[in-house]
Amino acid sequence: KFTKCTNCSQIDAKYLECDLFSNCTIGSIIPTKCTVQNGIICNGEKTFVRVASCQYCYQTHDTYHICSLETNCFSGSHQRYKSNCTVDGSIICLGNRNFSKYRKCDFQSGTRWSTTLWLSIIGGGFGADRFYLGMIGWGFFKLVSFGGLGIWSFIDVILILIGYLRPSDGSLYI
């Protein structure tokens, strides 16, 4: 699993057994005795001390674990989805390194707010903003009515400015 030149004290926490006690004060920084798991070949002492934060794996900050992403949810609906997460290998924590977490739907499809606004200002009378947002039917109606003779175009600029008019797939602007 490792080459002989890998120093035991520098391998990932997932290959260690650490004495991080569940009765420690959550959030405190404590020294913990770690031992390399059986079958792991590394160089140096197999038992050493590492400093760790007393926390359960599911309590780690979002930057310290990777979660699966769901693309079939709409951010505009304030949905949450169940995601499978795994703690980064360098983190020592209590409990299971793999856990479930509910996350907010906030996917982005690549639509820019500034581009939408400029398309509405410059080409709103021809439905360019609605076509860009994926609203093909509304874009066509706006095109044939010349933006409701300018009134609909003006209203769309305001709706884009206040953040009400967003991409049709429910994604967020980038």
Q: DSSP letter string over 55-101?
A: -BGGGS-GGGEEE----SS-GGGT-EEEEEEEE-TT---BS-SEEEE
Answer yes or no: is pLDDT of 76 > 80.
no
Average pLDDT of 113-131?
93
Contact 94, 58 (CB under 8 A): no
Q: In whole numbers, what is the pLDDT of the chain averaged over residues?
A: 86
pLDDT tens track for 101-110: 988 776 667 7
Average pLDDT of 3-10?
74
SS3 147: helix
pLDDT confidence of residue 97: 92
pLDDT confidence of residue 163: 86
Average pLDDT of 126-154?
92
Residues 6+ apart with CB under 8 A from 43: 4, 5, 6, 7, 8
pLDDT confidence of residue 115: 93
Answer yes or no: is pLDDT of 123 > 80.
yes
pLDDT confidence of residue 118: 95
pLDDT confidence of residue 138: 92
SS3 9: helix
How big is the CA angle at 134 (ends 128 and 137), to the nearest 5 degrees? 75
Q: What is the pTM of this model?
A: 0.56
Q: Which helix (H) or strand (E) holds 163?
A: none
pLDDT tens track for 28-64: 998 999 999 998 888 889 999 999 889 999 999 989 9
